[in-house]
Amino acid sequence: MVLVRPTTVFAVVSGAFPPRNQLALYGMQIVSKTAKMWWAEKAAWFRNVPWTAIEPTLGQLEVRIHFGELAKKAKELGAVGTREKPAFSKELGRYFVGAAAYIADNMKGFRAPHAIPKEEYPSKKQRTFKTYEERKRELEARLKALA
CB atoms < 10 A from the CB of 101, how many?
Answer: 20
| Angle between helix 98-107 and helix 58-77 axes, rounded to 10 deg | 140
Alpha helices by DSSP H, 90-131: 98-107, 122-125
Tell me the pLDDT tens digit for each residue of 26-81.
667 788 888 888 888 888 888 777 777 777 889 999 999 999 999 999 888 887 76
DSSP annotation of 46: E
How many domains in the chain? Answer: 2
Q: What is the rounded average pLDDT for all residues in the chain? A: 77
Task: Judge residue 141's burial from the number of C-beta atoms within 10 Å of its C-beta, 0-12 exposed, 13-18 middle, 19 or more buried.
Answer: exposed
Does 33 reside within a domain? yes
Cα 78 to the center of its chain, rounded Å: 27
pLDDT for res 101 = 79
The whole domain housing 51 covers 1-55
Task: Indicate yes or no: pTM above 0.85.
Answer: no
Local confidence band at 137 (pLDDT 50, 70, 90 cut-offs): very high
Does 140 reside within a domain? no
pLDDT for res 100 = 82
For 45, the 3-state DSSP assignment is strand
pLDDT above 70 (res 87): no
Does 128 reside within a domain? no
- Mean pLDDT along residues 105-119: 88
pLDDT above 60 (res 86): no
